Structures are given as structure tokens and as C-alpha cells.
Amino acid sequence: MAAENGNDTSNIVARFHKIVLGWDYLRLLKESSKRGKSISDGASLGLKNVKETYKDVDEYIGTFEPLLFEEAKAQIIRGRDEDDVSEWNLGAVVTCAVSDCFHIPVVGYDAEDGETIVENDLLLLSKEK
């Protein structure tokens, strides 16, 4: 992500969402189990060492953006491991709108007491169980 003049926060957040929502959740889990819990130096993932100073914004972003996305992947995988939310719920997409290249579904489902879906929840939608 090169630093660009006029890039507002909503464009940056939309770009982040496009990247994260473009990931294949099941492949992330598979890759994570292959790697196991071993911690490498990060070079195999294309990560760079964090420096004390940077020559420009692009160099800074080039270092920290991949770290941010690796952390997002780790949070998604950790969330599944901690919550073990693997139960299957029958639901239906009631309506679906498109906004800024994103599909915004309205999902109908039988909710347990106190169970809700909020905007930042990660849902895996599938046609089969």
C-alpha cells in the first residue's frame, strides 16, 4: 500500500476489508495446522524486521502492513481455537446489497437466548453443512 495523498480513512478501511474478506477461511485453518505452533523468523512469510527509523512512509508501510495482516490471520485462527465455534446453524440470506464492492447480507436464523450477530462478527456462509 503506497502512501497516497487524498487517501481517507474509509478507503484504507475498505482496502483492509477487501484483503481480509478475500481470504479463504478453510485454507487459513489448514495452513495454520500445517505450520503448527512453531514460531519462525517471519522471513518465510515475507515479513521484514522492524527498524528504529525509516527513510519514508512507504518503507514504514512496507514493513508494518504485512505484520498487520499476519496478526489479523492469527486473531481469526485464535478466535476459532478459543471459542471452538464450529456448530452449524441453519439460516438464510434474506436480502443482499452491494456497497463499495462488498456484499452486505441480511441473515435470518434461529438465535439462542442472548445470541446475536454484530457487524464485526466473522461468519462462514455455506450451502451445505
pLDDT at 26 over 80: yes
Is the Cβ–Cβ distance between 3 and 58 less than 8 Å? yes
- Position 56 scores a pLDDT of 94
Phi, psi of 31 (to 5 degrees): -65, -35
Provide mean pLDDT across the span 105-119. 79
pLDDT digits (tens, 9 = 90+) for 27-37: 988 888 877 66
pLDDT at 64 over 90: yes
Better-predicted residue by pLDDT, 44 or 60: 60
> How far is residue 33's CA from residue 41's CA, in Å, rounded to a whole number?
18
Provide mean pLDDT across the span 112-117. 75
pTM listed for this prediction: 0.67
Is the Cβ–Cβ distance between 29 and 80 less than 8 Å? yes
